[in-house]
A = this chain, B = another copy of it.
Amino acid sequence: MAQKRENIHKYLFGHPFRTDSVVADIPVSAGEAPYLLRSQDETGEVFRYALSEEDRVYGLGEQVRGIDKRGWVYASWNMDDPEIHENRQSLYASHNFLVVDGKEKFGVFVDSPGKVVYDIDYTTRGEMAIFCGRDFGLYIIEGESVLDVIRTFRKMIGRSYIPPKFAFGFAQSRWGYMNETDVREVADEYGKCGFPVDMIVLDIDYMENYKDFTINGERFPDFPAFVREMKARGIRLIPIIDAAVKAEDGYSVYEEGCKGGYFCKDKDGKPFIVGVWPGDSALPDFLSPEARAWFGEKYRVLLDCGIEGFWNDMNEPSLFYSKDSLARTIRGIAEKEGKNLSLTEFWSITGSVARLANNADDYASFYHETEGGKVSHKEVHNLYGYNMVRAASEYFGKYDKDKRTLIYSRSSHIGMHRYGGIWTGDNASRWDHLLLNLKMLPSLNMCGFLYVGADIGGFGQDTTEDLLLRWTALGAFVPLMRNHCTFGSRRQEYYRFGNRQAFKNLLDMRYSLVPYLYSEFVKSALRDELMYTPLGFLYPDDERAKETEDQMFVGGSIMIAPVYRQNTRGRNVYLPEDMKMVRMRSVSDYTEEILPKGDHYVEMGFGEVVFFVAKGKAIPLAKPAKNVAALDEEHLLWIKYADGKTTYELYDDDGFTTDVREENIRTVTV
């Protein structure tokens, strides 16, 4: 029965599509939403709020720019465009939650499957305007503090996904591991260098012509045996599953999908054909419960091979072209053959080709069969990746109800946070993307996504050794720690660079931190809290803390301050209170120093992990090991900043149980 919650106000507009983003049963409030001024324009409902100079606006999950979102226009519209910079309006995900922090403190959640636009202090300084469309739910969440508002929101959307513990190990990836030999080489080189590793990720080349749920038999002649071989070496293979299914007669998945009516359809009811990696392909209709059940069950072929983790890609969905629009474009260009072209005609050629990918008209040209009836993809675009992951996750529960399976996705929407994690898409080997990785972490946490990470070293373009070193030093503190890069870019496995000792230090330190990271992660999930907390959330009266967006609390004990500038030997660090600085090359080689509140310049060497411990806090560390399973968590080492004894709440389990609960947290006195 719906329970009235004093601190949540809910309103419905038009005919909202059921997104399942919210799990709490909240009654609709009477009257108008508080705080916001409602009006209408040609796009639908608009809500405005007057921002005063001291207000800050947090949230929106996977988005560009800073932790404070003031000063830009953001749009929720899942988009595969790898050119990521501060002037993009959308990335791969749509996370419609934000918090205003000022004299008034409140959260806004727009429960919409379609486009939502946030003009925060951009068009008019001092005004936030949210363009919600016509059919949506609106939630206003009140609280005493930013953290209080977030906790209430997180409770409302349900417990965040918790992956198996091995997912806190390190994952080496690259688009271009073509066969067993390539994968073995990676495993061998990691072994030779003494670098720990838990996962090697398989990008699209393991499949037969990029067909989902197939294995290329020439490249992997006995896949189950190869999975076993790798697992015996302590390494799990994590294959990719792309959203679209190759449209090929004789391919069972395609034929089943056609027969069952499981694909998105064009206006005539035929599967809508798009071009992606396999060439012409059909899009599973993940918004249909039947299609989800069918597609989820397909994972069985890989689970039966011993696979325990997956990633889902291309699920915005990304379209290189639609079959119709490509034909139309070629026809348009062919008509210009032999003619004397004006510049306008020339631009029409380049424009038509540039518009082929992820075209809005294509997104408006196919349909889903949902529980609420047939609906244009355009109206529910942002739910596609979410429900692809849900399909897998719901099946994993059936396949083995007692065991957690790893899954993370490129595209997402609030609601998906209960089913899987995300990596933040196709970033590039750029120093500003390292910083963006850091800044996005708390925003993602706010929206329920705890198992998150960015491709370390950068996916696109060419990395440099120093960028990879600095990024890895950040990655050591991020749940999904994956080094991944694109086909044709500079190879960036750690063993390919000169400064192996520095990389080994960083990887070993990551493994030493696993007991802390896992414990903090699970506590964050169980308690609806942030794992990454900006300084300003914790020190709300400290303006300097609020302005500091390049430092972060990781869990309750540690503050990090990563280096994100090339050719520097350290950086400025602001301490919001006295803290203990710990400089670790390994758990047996470190120094500690208590630094007073205020500004410090701190040197940070390439092979060092430097962090800051808050007063009264402790951190459990393990001796490094070759993988998570090999960590000795019976004999933890402790770092603390306390005069006498202090306590730490430690969560641990067998790494797989689905029975994750508060009772498994024990208080350790150290």
A contact set with B: CB distance below 8 Å: 56, 65-66, 68, 70-72, 83, 85-87, 122, 124-126, 275, 277-279, 320-321, 326-327, 330-331, 333-334, 336-338, 341-343, 346, 349-350, 353, 356, 428-432, 461-462, 464-467, 497-499, 543-544, 547, 549, 565-570, 572, 574, 599-601
Complex partner residue of A566 from B65, B431, B567, B601, CB under 8 angstroms: B65
Quick one: given A326-B341, A341-B326, A430-B85, are A466 and B71 in contact (CB under 8 Å)? yes
A227 to chain B, nearest CB (A): 29
Q: Establish whether residues A277 and B567, one from each chain, have CB atoms under 8 Å apart when the complex forms.
A: no
A549 to chain B, nearest CB (A): 8
Interchain CA distance A353-B350 in the complex, whole Å: 6
A464 to chain B, nearest CB (A): 5
Closest Cβ neighbor of A53 among chain B residues:
B569
Q: Establish whether residues B566 and A71, one from each chain, have CB atoms under 8 Å apart when the complex forms.
A: yes
Interchain CA distance A464-B64 in the complex, whole Å: 15
Interchain CA distance A428-B570 in the complex, whole Å: 29
Q: Establish whether residues B87 and A343, one from each chain, have CB atoms under 8 Å apart when the complex forms.
A: no
Residue contacts A-B, CB under 8 angstroms, 23 given? A56-B567, A68-B566, A70-B566, A71-B567, A85-B430, A86-B430, A87-B428, A125-B497, A125-B499, A275-B346, A277-B343, A278-B343, A326-B341, A326-B346, A330-B333, A330-B334, A330-B336, A330-B337, A547-B568, A547-B570, A572-B599, A599-B600, A599-B601
Interchain CA distance A565-B599 in the complex, whole Å: 18
Q: Establish whether residues A432 and B86, one from each chain, have CB atoms under 8 Å apart when the complex forms.
A: yes
Quick one: given A333-B330, A333-B333, are A567 and B346 in contact (CB under 8 Å)? no
Contacts of A334 in B (CB 8 A): 330, 333-334, 337
Most buried by B among A343, A572, A599: A343
Closest Cβ neighbor of A280 among chain B residues:
B340
Contacts of A71 in B (CB 8 A): 464, 466-467, 566-567
Known: A68-B566, A330-B349, A572-B599. 7 other contacts (CB 8 A): A68-B567, A70-B567, A277-B343, A320-B346, A330-B334, A333-B334, A599-B601
Quick one: given A85-B430, A543-B569, are A346 and B333 in contact (CB under 8 Å)? no
A338 to chain B, nearest CB (A): 8
Closest Cβ neighbor of A547 among chain B residues:
B568
Contacts of A338 in B (CB 8 A): 327
Q: Establish whether residues A275 and B343, one from each chain, have CB atoms under 8 Å apart when the complex forms.
A: yes
Contacts of A333 in B (CB 8 A): 330, 333-334
Q: Establish whether residues A498 and B125, one from each chain, have CB atoms under 8 Å apart when the complex forms.
A: yes
Quick one: given A66-B567, A543-B569, are A353 and B343 in contact (CB under 8 Å)? no
Q: Establish whether residues B544 and A601, one from each chain, have CB atoms under 8 Å apart when the complex forms.
A: yes
Number of copies: 2
A467 to chain B, nearest CB (A): 8
Quick one: given A71-B466, A428-B87, are A279 and B66 in contact (CB under 8 Å)? no
Contacts of A462 in B (CB 8 A): 87
Complex partner residue of A430 from B66, B70, B87, B565, CB under 8 angstroms: B87
Quick one: given A331-B337, A543-B569, are A279 and B342 in contact (CB under 8 Å)? yes
Contacts of A87 in B (CB 8 A): 428-430, 461-462
A99 to chain B, nearest CB (A): 15
Contacts of A336 in B (CB 8 A): 330
Contacts of A467 in B (CB 8 A): 71
Contacts of A428 in B (CB 8 A): 85, 87
Contacts of A124 in B (CB 8 A): 498
Q: Establish whether residues B86 and A431, one from each chain, have CB atoms under 8 Å apart when the complex forms.
A: yes
A334 to chain B, nearest CB (A): 4
Contacts of A432 in B (CB 8 A): 85-86, 432
Closest Cβ neighbor of A357 among chain B residues:
B350
Q: Establish whether residues A353 and B346, one from each chain, have CB atoms under 8 Å apart when the complex forms.
A: no
Interchain CA distance A71-B499 in the complex, whole Å: 14
Contacts of A568 in B (CB 8 A): 547
Q: Establish whether residues A125 and B465, one from each chain, have CB atoms under 8 Å apart when the complex forms.
A: yes
Q: Establish whether residues A547 and B572, one from each chain, have CB atoms under 8 Å apart when the complex forms.
A: no
A563 to chain B, nearest CB (A): 11
Contacts of A547 in B (CB 8 A): 567-570
Interchain CA distance A70-B125 in the complex, whole Å: 40
Most buried by B among A122, A277, A428: A122
A319 to chain B, nearest CB (A): 12
Contacts of A466 in B (CB 8 A): 71, 125
Interchain CA distance A230-B310 in the complex, whole Å: 67
Most buried by B among A326, A338, A567: A567
Quick one: given A71-B567, A346-B326, A430-B86, are A464 and B66 in contact (CB under 8 Å)? no
Contacts of A320 in B (CB 8 A): 343, 346
A442 to chain B, nearest CB (A): 15
A483 to chain B, nearest CB (A): 18
A332 to chain B, nearest CB (A): 10
A210 to chain B, nearest CB (A): 9
Q: Establish whether residues B343 and A279, one from each chain, have CB atoms under 8 Å apart when the complex forms.
A: yes
A336 to chain B, nearest CB (A): 6
Closest Cβ neighbor of A601 among chain B residues:
B599
Which 3 A-B pairs have CB atoms at the shortest separation, nearest pair first?
A334-B334, A68-B567, A87-B461
A271 to chain B, nearest CB (A): 16
Interchain CA distance A568-B461 in the complex, whole Å: 30
Contacts of A72 in B (CB 8 A): 464
Closest Cβ neighbor of A465 among chain B residues:
B125
Contacts of A330 in B (CB 8 A): 333-334, 336-337, 349
A597 to chain B, nearest CB (A): 12
Closest Cβ neighbor of A351 among chain B residues:
B353
A191 to chain B, nearest CB (A): 24
A129 to chain B, nearest CB (A): 15
Closest Cβ neighbor of A460 among chain B residues:
B87
Interchain CA distance A122-B461 in the complex, whole Å: 13
Interchain CA distance A665-B656 in the complex, whole Å: 79
Q: Establish whether residues A346 and B321, one from each chain, have CB atoms under 8 Å apart when the complex forms.
A: yes
Contacts of A341 in B (CB 8 A): 326
A358 to chain B, nearest CB (A): 13
Interchain CA distance A466-B70 in the complex, whole Å: 10
